[in-house]
Amino acid sequence: MSDQELSAELFEEESRMSCAESELKTCFIDELQLISGVTLRNVKIAFQTWGSFTGNNAILVCHAISGDSNAAAWWQKIIGSGKAIDTDRFYVVCSNAIGGCSGSTGPSSLNDEGVQYGSSFPSITVEDMVVAQIHLSDFLGINQWLMVCGGSMGGMQAIEWARGYSARVRHCWVTASASAHTAMQIGFNEVARQAILRDENFRGGDYYDFKAPKGGLAVGRMLGHLSYLSESAFESKFARNLQIENGVPDAGPIFLQNKQFQIESYLNYQGENFTARFDANSFLVVSTAIDRYSCDSLEGSRSKFLFTSFTSDWLYPSHLSQKLHEMALSAGCESEWIDIDLPYGHDAFLLDTEFQGKALRKLLSP
């Protein structure tokens, strides 16, 4: 695939369920003890699997903030028959993170009284997400993962697996992620959260019987898309191209005119599309969890690490992966860090097949 084709593909809205179909399954947890001290009861973890389990070939894929359990759809460049994570060779598992809104227990789920949690849903942490996955591992009879992997928020979960449960993780691949968020990353998430909190329909988080705060959630997602891509990616696709055919703005007040630039139309579309599949409370809960996560050391881990980063990723810049690599080496672990020169920004980890694929095949070679 040429750079031009890959750049164009970056901006296409692909069907989330179009490839590698897998039945959505549920693991039930009677009680889940959270870091906060709260106990969640009757917890559901939604998950999907691909391939066949042979006892030592299981790979756990952890999703990013807006992802779900259908990893073969959102990471179709990496997962599938004959791909780097080969579903003909490996047993691939992906679960929706606790606190999410795609089948696992989260703010929109029903509590013990049969009403949606809303504002009563407790704070969760990345550590809580991993503990829920431990329960899923036991449910599936997987004592050790051949690899735990993920990008962005998914990378944080993989780090936590390798830090806290190293005996259960042979290999750990972390791409476009960090040991802890910087002030800038926290700032982006806080602006998105404030867009939701200040939406008049938010109602303190108890909006499920009313109109959802879709306006605030859409604005938060628009901000996210601005941070996920690089300047060159935006310029190559949109530049200052106008949405209207004759290039002449509409008459009347500027704020009532049709969107003038193509980038405006793109961002508005992405924001509206996101509100159709995601819950505002889940965004608040999960984004706060990753902002609060911090891994200061990988001491005690015996996993073999692969870290990948991208030169154009200004949201999760390369030096954050370098820091993780140095942390792994300091802990006496085998580790490799590869900085990939592609112009697609943070979303490059979802789009790159060649460089990540080559590194993965090396990591997972017999």
Fold entry, domain 186-285: Rna Polymerase Sigma Factor; Chain: A (1.10.1740)
pLDDT at 22: 86
pLDDT at 10: 42
pLDDT (0 to 100) of residue 249: 56
Provide the pLDDT for residue 18: 38
Q: Which amino acid is at 198?
A: R
Strands 145-151 and 79-80: unpaired
Between CA 243 and CA 263 the distance in angstroms is: 9
CB-based contact 279:107 (threshold 8 Å): yes
Per-residue confidence of the chain (366 residues) as pLDDT tens digits?
334 334 434 433 333 333 456 899 999 999 999 999 999 999 999 999 999 999 999 999 999 999 999 999 999 999 999 999 999 999 999 999 999 999 999 999 999 999 999 999 999 999 999 999 999 999 999 999 999 999 999 999 999 999 999 999 999 999 999 999 999 999 999 999 999 999 999 999 999 999 999 999 999 999 999 999 999 999 999 999 887 655 555 555 655 555 578 899 899 999 999 999 999 999 999 999 999 999 999 999 999 999 999 999 999 999 999 999 999 999 999 999 999 999 999 999 999 999 999 999 999 997
How many residues does this entry show for the chain?
Answer: 366
**Number of CB atoms found within 10 A of residue 118's CB:** 17
Instruction: Show the CA angle centred on residue 242, arms to residues 237 and 247, nearest 5°.
Output: 150
Pull the structure tokens for residue 155: 């990378």
Structure-token match 């499920």, residue found: 208
Q: How many CB atoms lie within 10 A of CB 19?
A: 13
Tokens of residue 212, six digits: 């959802």
Structural tokens at position 115:
């009403």
Task: Specify whether the CB–CB gap between 104 and 96 falls below 8 A.
Answer: yes
Residue ranges per structural domain of the chain: 3-181+294-363, 186-285
* pLDDT on residue 243: 76
Tell me the C-alpha distance between 250 and 257, whole Å.
6
DSSP secondary structure of 283-322: HHHHHHHHHH-B----TT---EEEEEEETT-SSS-HHHHH
Catalytic sites, residue numbers: 152, 313, 346
Give dist(CA 182, CA 165) in Å, integer: 25
List the CATH code of the domain at 3-181+294-363.
3.40.50.1820
- What is the per-residue burial (b if ≥16 Cβ within 10 Å, else e) of 85-99? bbbeebbbbbbbbbb
